[in-house]
Structures are given as C-alpha cells and as structure tokens.
A and B are shown apart, each in its own frame.
Chain A
C-alpha cells in the first residue's frame, strides 16, 4: 500500500545503499529541512486564504474572489507583493535585534514542529520528552516578540510586545496544566506513546468530563498564546496600529505574519495529538468492523482533518468574540482558567489512579 511511511522508508533505504551513514544523516536532515520550509510556505498561503474566506462568510460577505479561480491565488499575489517591497529598517532602531527578531520567531516555530507526528511513522524527532519539549520551546517565541518590540524604538511596538509577554507568560500555565492532565492519563511524555494510547478511543471521550474541560482550557490558552483575537491585545489594530510588528515591512513583516499562522497550526496539531488522537483514526472500543472501516482513511488525512477543524474553531473564535481588555485578560487566566485547571488536574489524577477512564 502506498503511504508516506513507505515512501520515506524507501528513500532511506536507497540513500543507505549509496552513501555512508554520516552522509545519509546529513542528506536526510537537508530533505527534512526543505520539507519543513515547504510546509511553512504552503501553510502560510492556505491558512491566510482560509482565514479571509472564513471571516468573509461569517460576516456575510464574499471575501477574495478576483485573483485566480474563486480568489484562490489571492495569497500568492499578496506574498509576491510583500517579497517585492522594500524591507525598511527605521533610523532609531537597534539594527541587529530588529533584523534578528523575525527569524527568531520563525525558528522557534520550526523547532516546535520537530516532535509533531504528521502521520503514522512520519515524525521528525520522536523524543522521549516530546510534550515537555513543546511547552518549553513554545515559551521561547515571546523572546522574539519582545525583541521586535524593543528594537523597533517605538512606544506602540514596545507596549504591544509587553502585553504579549504578560499574556504568553500567564497563559502558558493553564496550557501546561491541561497538557499535564493528558500526560497523567498516558503516563508518558513521548508523542508516539500518547497517540498509541488513544488506539481504542480519543482522550477527549475516554477521559470523561475532566478531559473535555482541559481540552476547552487548552484551546482558550493556546488562542491567547498565539496572540489571536479575542486575545490580540499585542496587535490590537485599533489601539496600537499593529503592536510589535508596526515598524516591519516587506519580507520581515511577512515572516511575522507567517509565524502567527504557523503557530496556530502547531498548537492545533498539538491539541489534536493530545486530545483527538493525532493521526489515529476514530476507534470506538471493541467495534472491530467500524474500526477497520475507519482505518481505510489514511492517517495523514485524519491528522490534517483534525488540525484544520481546530484551526477553523480558533478562526471562529476570532470572528465572533470582541477583544478583551488587559485586566479582563489577566482576570480570566488567574481567577478562572488556572484554578479550574488545577481542580481539573486533581480530578484527572484521581481518575487515572482509580482507572475510571475507559
């Protein structure tokens, strides 16, 4: 059967027959790097178009419909425009940090991609502390944002970056708590273990109400972490023009823009992995027939379907809810999400110890 796993194995075997192991490792790293860059480019184009179409439909408009069939080439044209624009560096800016920040943000996004399982057997790095690695690296992106805000030498940029910092630091907590509640159930931090533990059903359904609560908390927290509406105080078009990337133009602005969407994809991929079984098809307990039918759908499709469904939900949030004020934002985290996730984690631990989950 033709699957991505077989293709990678045959490439690996072919390379091993031709070159020495060290060269094979190097070549495979290059191939993986190119694949990641390609994925980023495609994600940027697809997600921006999806966002514009979703927002248009939710606001009873048509959205982009001029460039290409039904406007599908709109984002390609936009990218072309951004690539041709001048990348301006303001006079008063800290040149090195200013130019470094967008690359830092995108590198962080690339690093989080490493332990994500895209399909059965397609994982760049199946590290044994995968979930910990993801939570650790994702908090690094605030450094890039703060760097951009500080180096721009612009009060709006700095304000936006500070807000973003406060936001990411506080919402990291409840996102981490909800991740831990799944780790408690599986007893492993390795992504592949977490996925195989959902062979007879996804944790969202197996873990009773606490799993659903932690799923909702996770979605809220990652929406805040990726600085998307209703938590987009860091950008807040109407108050801070564009927040930390006010001073950026051309391709460097495009990198920030891309990083936002790639981060959305990544957090949705993680949510899909932890709560919806990653590439694991929908299996229900011991219904062998049903499970076999579900297995016919390729695992990569399952993963992408779940991820894009979650991305759609996050876009749905963005085009429905009004922006929170900074005090409301911190209230929500410290007074509601954090206590709730603590109690929830306690419940989850009891369920796990007593073996009440399915």
Chain B
C-alpha cells in the first residue's frame, strides 16, 4: 500500500502547489492598481530609472571644462566590439617634457552593448554610464559621438 499512499500524496501535493501559484496570480489579478511597469511616454518627466541603468557612455567634465582622461586606451582595449576609438596627441609640459594626452574620444553608440567593461577598465574614472536612452536619430552618422568637449583638457594632478 506504500506506493498507493505515495501516489495519492503526490497528487495532493501537486494540487496544493498549483493552487498556491494560482492564488498568487489571482491576487495580482484582483489588485491591479499595483502596476509595476512604467507608463513610459506618459511619465517622461517624473520617470525614475534604476540607479544602475546603463544608457550610454559619457565623459565627465567639471566646471572648468576639464576631464580626467589620460588617453591610456584601457577602455579601448577592454571594449569587446570596437566601440571606442581613442586618438592621442603629444603635449609638451612646462618643463619641456613630451607627454601623451587625449585628443579625441570617439564613441560609436550604434556598436555599444552597454556592457560596462570600459567603465570598469578606466583607471581614472573619466567615463561613466549615463541614463539617457532615447537615442533614435534619422542619420546613423549622428550615433558616432565625440565624448570630450571641444577645448577641454586634462585636470591637474590626474596621472
């Protein structure tokens, strides 16, 4: 009789667990005021994105138009699909020494998968992920962005 007991307890246990699931969805069905989705185009102004949401790579500039990028190309090397291209130049310091510096930070948004590897690779925290996600444009070439502001230079003391 042991097998019969197991059979019946199997059936009852299955029924109980199925009813448990149905109770949860039934609860959701009757409490549809607690909507968890964001009503996006309607709530564009007050929309709250999660803190770690990744929309695009931006370079941080302070008030004096200075950034922290040394042009080390660590992000370019870290990028798995060639999204970042860094063009460097040589600057002469007041002491007369030549030093590598950032000329142009090219970012291909259309290739980017928002994997965050470049941000993790950056030794000076010069770039970070922004939350803007409305990237649609009419021309593909607009997606190739230059991240460092015109006329910006490296902040004092960042090596």
Q: Which residues of B contact A59 (CB under 8 A)?
A: 28
Q: Which of A120-128, A170-178, A313-321 contacts B (4 or more CB under 8 A)?
A: A313-321
Asked if A60 and B35 make an inter-chain contact with CB atoms under 8 angstroms apart, the answer reads yes
- Give min CB distance, A206 to chain B, whole Å: 23
Given A54-B29, A320-B25 in contact, is the A60-B18 Cβ separation under 8 Å? no
B26 closest partner in A (C-beta):
A316
User: Is the C-beta of A18 less than 8 angstroms from some C-beta in chain B?
Assistant: no
| B: contact size bracket | 10 to 19
Scoring A residues 54 to 67 as 1 if CB is less than 8 Å from chain B, else 0, what string do you get?
10011111100000
Q: Which residues of B contact A290 (CB under 8 A)?
A: none
Asked if B11 and A58 make an inter-chain contact with CB atoms under 8 angstroms apart, the answer reads no
**Among A58, A62, A316, which residue has its beta carbon within 8 angstroms of that of B37?**
A62
Given A61-B37, A62-B37, A62-B39 in contact, is the A316-B22 Cβ separation under 8 Å? yes
Asked if A60 and B32 make an inter-chain contact with CB atoms under 8 angstroms apart, the answer reads yes
B18 closest partner in A (C-beta):
A321
- Give min CB distance, A20 to chain B, whole Å: 55
Query: How many residues belonging to A are interface residues under a CB distance threshold of 8 Å?
Result: 14
**Among A60, A62, A320, A340, which residue has its beta carbon within 8 angstroms of that of B22?**
A320
Asked if A57 and B28 make an inter-chain contact with CB atoms under 8 angstroms apart, the answer reads yes
- Which residues of chain A in 22-75 are interfacial with respect to chain B, using CB atoms and an 8 Å cutoff? 54, 57-62
**Among B21, B35, B39, which residue has its beta carbon within 8 angstroms of that of A321?**
B21
Q: Which residues of A contact B26 (CB under 8 A)?
A: 316
- Which residues of chain A in 136-153 are interfacial with respect to chain B, using CB atoms and an 8 Å cutoff? none
Given A316-B25, A319-B25 in contact, is the A336-B11 Cβ separation under 8 Å? yes
User: Is the C-beta of B36 less than 8 angstroms from some C-beta in chain A?
Assistant: yes
Q: Which residues of A contact B28 (CB under 8 A)?
A: 57-60
B30 closest partner in A (C-beta):
A57
Q: Which residues of B contact A316 (CB under 8 A)?
A: 22, 25-26, 29
Q: Which residues of B contact A61 (CB under 8 A)?
A: 35-37
A340 closest partner in B (C-beta):
B11
- Which residues of chain A in 296-323 are interfacial with respect to chain B, using CB atoms and an 8 Å cutoff? 316-317, 319-321
Interface of B is mostly: helix
CA distance A319 to B35 in the complex (A): 17
CA distance A319 to B24 in the complex (A): 11
CA distance A109 to B11 in the complex (A): 33
Q: Which residues of B contact A62 (CB under 8 A)?
A: 35, 37, 39
B11 closest partner in A (C-beta):
A336
Q: Which residues of B contact A336 (CB under 8 A)?
A: 11
Q: Which residues of A contact B46 (CB under 8 A)?
A: none
B36 closest partner in A (C-beta):
A60
- Which residues of chain A in 312-358 are interfacial with respect to chain B, using CB atoms and an 8 Å cutoff? 316-317, 319-321, 336, 340
- Which residues of chain B in 8-35 are interfacial with respect to chain A, using CB atoms and an 8 Å cutoff? 11, 18, 21-22, 24-26, 28-29, 32, 34-35
**Among B11, B37, B39, which residue has its beta carbon within 8 angstroms of that of A60?**
B37
Most buried by A among B24, B29, B35, B39: B29
Q: Which residues of A contact B24 (CB under 8 A)?
A: 320
A318 closest partner in B (C-beta):
B25
Most buried by B among A54, A58, A321, A336: A58
Q: Which residues of B contact A57 (CB under 8 A)?
A: 28-29, 32
- Give min CB distance, B95 to chain A, whole Å: 63
Scoring B residues 107 to 145 as 1 if CB is less than 8 Å from chain A, else 0, what string do you get?
000000000000000000000000000000000000000
Most buried by A among B11, B24, B25, B26: B25
Q: Which residues of A contact B22 (CB under 8 A)?
A: 316-317, 320
CA distance A355 to B41 in the complex (A): 64
Q: Which residues of B contact A320 (CB under 8 A)?
A: 18, 21-22, 24-25
Asked if B29 and A58 make an inter-chain contact with CB atoms under 8 angstroms apart, the answer reads yes
- Give min CB distance, B6 to chain A, whole Å: 12
CA distance A3 to B39 in the complex (A): 45
Asked if A58 and B35 make an inter-chain contact with CB atoms under 8 angstroms apart, the answer reads no
CA distance A316 to B35 in the complex (A): 18
CA distance A319 to B18 in the complex (A): 12
A-B contact pairs, 9 of them (CB 8 A): A58-B28, A60-B28, A61-B35, A62-B37, A316-B29, A320-B18, A320-B21, A321-B18, A321-B21
Q: Nearest 3 CB-CB pairs, A to B?
A: A58-B25, A57-B32, A320-B25
> Given contacts A61-B36, A320-B22, A340-B11, could you give 4 more A-B pairs where the C-beta distance is less than 8 Å?
A61-B35, A316-B25, A320-B24, A321-B18
